[in-house]
């Protein structure tokens, strides 16, 4: 029996068009600005992120927040595919290297990626690295 190929589904198919971003795109170097860089290679940069988005929780005492940005412009996590194998590997490597440089393998951390509005505010693929107090059981249900 011949196998029927399913059509590829793109983010625009799901959204009914391109997303409307609440904020304009910026190049990675403008977002990083004068922030301290934790890890950088030709594909990604991880930096200490002193500015929290308006929808993020307040920082706990001693909490660290960093951001990973791709240098190649990619709108969101949904725009990465298997053809981006090298970039996917570079993202994983950068998260690991930043964690080791910050000693996070000893105390744990989380990785977050906001995807599409209203969660994602700018059309740049970004991963947030965060340490601090883990959420309490039931916090997700309360939000």
35: domain CATH number is 3.30.428.10
Closest by Cα among 107, 77, 105 to 91: 77
Share of the chain above pLDDT 70, in %: 80
Domain hosting 83: range is: 21-52+60-110
pLDDT at position 109: 94
User: Is position 139 within any domain?
Assistant: no
For the stretch 94-116, pLDDT in tens is 999 999 999 999 889 999 998 88
User: Is position 119 within any domain?
Assistant: no
Most trustworthy range by pLDDT among 20-29, 57-66, 68-77, 85-94: 85-94
Q: Could you give the 3-state DSSP secondary structure of residue 92?
A: helix
Q: Which two tokens stand for residue 36?
A: 């301290």
User: Is position 16 within any domain?
Assistant: no
For the stretch 8-42, pLDDT in tens is 666 667 666 778 888 888 999 999 999 999 999 99
């Amino acid at each position: 029996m011949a196998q029927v190929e399913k059509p590829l589904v793109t983010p625009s198919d799901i959204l009914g068009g391109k997303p409307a971003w609440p904020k304009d795109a910026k190049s990675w170097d403008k977002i990083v600005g004068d922030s301290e860089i934790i890890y950088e290679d030709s594909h990604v940069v991880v930096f200490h992120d002193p500015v929290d988005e308006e929808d993020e929780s307040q920082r706990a005492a001693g909490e660290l927040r960093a951001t990973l940005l791709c240098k190649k412009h990619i709108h969101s996590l949904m725009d990465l595919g298997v053809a981006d194998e090298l970039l996917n590997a570079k993202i994983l490597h950068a998260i690991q290297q930043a964690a080791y440089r910050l000693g996070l393998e000893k105390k744990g951390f989380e990785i977050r990626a906001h995807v599409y509005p209203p969660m994602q505010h700018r059309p740049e693929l970004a991963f947030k690295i965060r340490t601090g107090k883990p959420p309490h059981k039931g916090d997700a249900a309360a939000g």
